[in-house]
Amino acid sequence: MNSQIFQIATILLQFWTQASLSDPNIIKILGQNGSWWAEEGTEYDISNCNSSLTHTRDGNITKLTMNGKCANFYAAENCSGWFIRLVTNQLGGLIFKPETFRWPGGEISKSQMQAASVGPCFDKCDARNWLGDKKGLVKVTLYEGTRHQGTNTTIIIDGDGCFLIPRELVGFESIKISGDENCCIELHSSANCGTDSTQFRPGYPELSHLWVWGLGGERTFASSAKAISRCGVYCNKSVSDVNRIGEYGFLGDNIITVYDQPGYYDSDHVSLVVPVANEKNQYVIAVDKTIQVMEWDGKSKVPEKVKLLYTGEEGMPTNKMNDGKCDAKGRLWAGSMVEVDPTKGLEHARKGALHSFDDGVAKRHVDGIDISNGLAWTADNSVMYYIDSYSGVMDAFDFDLEKGALSNRRTAFDFKTSGATGLADGMTIDANGNLWVAFFGGNGVMQIDPRVGKKIGFVKTPASRATSVAFGGPHLDTLYITTGSCFLPTDNAEDFGPADGQLYQAVNVGAKGLGSGVSYAGKI
């Protein structure tokens, strides 16, 4: 309540004090020898360097009036050396006795803001903004309340990724930056780190009242930021180059945010997990419409850390990634699906797509997909088989392994004429070139010879909803089958029993797997 009263009072004073600041390049600075309630301060034009500041004693600032324009405040004269890049929003530009904050050894250290000269800001992509940053680990703690009080969480910035701020913390009111004196972070207005942002360092003012700060636009507020990155990482990137993630309104109501001491994990729907080649405890996962990499020991209830790699579904708020796996080059292939309301039947929305992800590049290969599912490659990597569940068929493509390219799409098998029930889901291939397809609602796995389009076998499961299948065991001759249980809106829990939602193994199926799974070999 006190914070709200303070903000309201400051806004009222803003209109009174800033009436004369019709030019956004004009700011007013009142030094320590002034009376903040009686004097407005000296005007400075920040379109040029003001090599020294008058009417200040020891550089201390008693009152600062800005109008939403960015300015560099230097500790030395002639606009040289270390500086504070201050961006206020239009309503937060009246600051009384601004305090700066540092955390040497983890303990807070406050002092009154000082400045010996002031001038225009550099472009936010100018490397002078983060000069001296050693790119070391930075701990950023966000507080629900002002003055570093209330519920808080710490996000570890330890790489060049876009680190999401958990949804319930959007609207935080103060921030702590624990790192090297010259470390530099950016708060971004969008969850993709690709739009308006403001840079912060230890030693900056008003970190205990973050609502004063803007996000590159005069009417934006830093406290509404949705993501954090190192300074400069997302400079000069077009939207398509930026690691994208759907805006918060698209992620659904059942977001689960799990916090642990070294970081955080924000997820809703995880659909695939692939090990990273030559990296211990590293896995590529699909989360909603994104591809992320997580570090996990295989035992803990939460991962050590998670970092965003790609997003494949721009402009598709109801889409999410589904099945996927890697080709022989370690290139990840994954497709998407649209959320379908089962109460309306099988709506052919055809808004999904099949993508590949490799070394920082995401490619869209096939459009018009309903539910992207099973993938498999022949032993010589010349053919890729693919299932769009609602299509009722399995497709084959000529496959160029070196280029990661598809061509000559054709139907390899027609599920509609095979007597199958349910929807074709995940699949694998055996050493003989035959495919094994799990059937959601079909009580098992169908064996198919795709070269002649013929069903040659079926493995029945106790559960009706087989979801995916893979060969494993010491000799790759055990067929492992995952199944689903009650989760659709039209499901009745009493229709499902202990057999549903289990992992099954089938032995003596007369086949062996083509080989062990391929790990992701792209950049992380």
Q: Check the annotation: does 322 bind a ligand.
A: yes
For residue 156, give the nearest of 242, 265, 291 by alpha carbon.
265
| Residue closest to 271 by CA, chosen among 322, 340, 309, 306 | 322
Contacts 24+ apart (CB under 8 A), 105-113: 106/178, 108/148, 108/176, 112/32, 112/60, 112/61, 113/60, 113/61, 113/64, 113/73, 113/84, 113/205
Of 427, 455, 337, 324, give the one whose Cα is nearest residue 390. 337
CA distance 14 to 192: 32
Alpha-carbon distance values, 308 to 24, 135, 182, 456 (Å): 38, 18, 25, 42
Q: Are 118 and 27 in contact (CB under 8 A)?
A: yes
* Extended beta strands in 473-507, E state: 478-483, 503-506
C-alpha 375/C-alpha 470 separation (Å) is 11
Active site residue 425: yes
| Burial state string for 351-361 with b = 16 or more CB within 10 A and e = fewer than 16 | bbbbbbbbeee
Give the strand pairing for 138-143 and 152-157: antiparallel
Distances (CA, A) of 12 to 94, 413, 477: 10, 71, 75
Tokens of 283: 């896995």
CB atoms within 10 A of CB 328: 14
Place of tokens 């004063």: 212
CA dihedral for 179, 86, 150, 255, sign (positive or negative): negative
Q: Which of 266, 327, 425, 477 is catalytic?
A: 425
**Known binder of ligand: residue 425?**
yes
For 3, list phi and psi in degrees, rounded to 5.
-65, -40
Strand (E) positions, 121-204? Answer: 138-143, 152-157, 163-164, 174-178, 185-188, 197-200
Measured distance between the N- and C-terminal CA atoms of the chain, rounded to whole angstroms? 45
As annotated, the active-site residues are 425
- Please enumerate, by residue number, every residue annotated as part of a binding site for substrate: 322
Residues annotated as binding site? 322, 373, 425
**Which residues belong to the annotated binding site for a divalent metal cation?**
373, 425
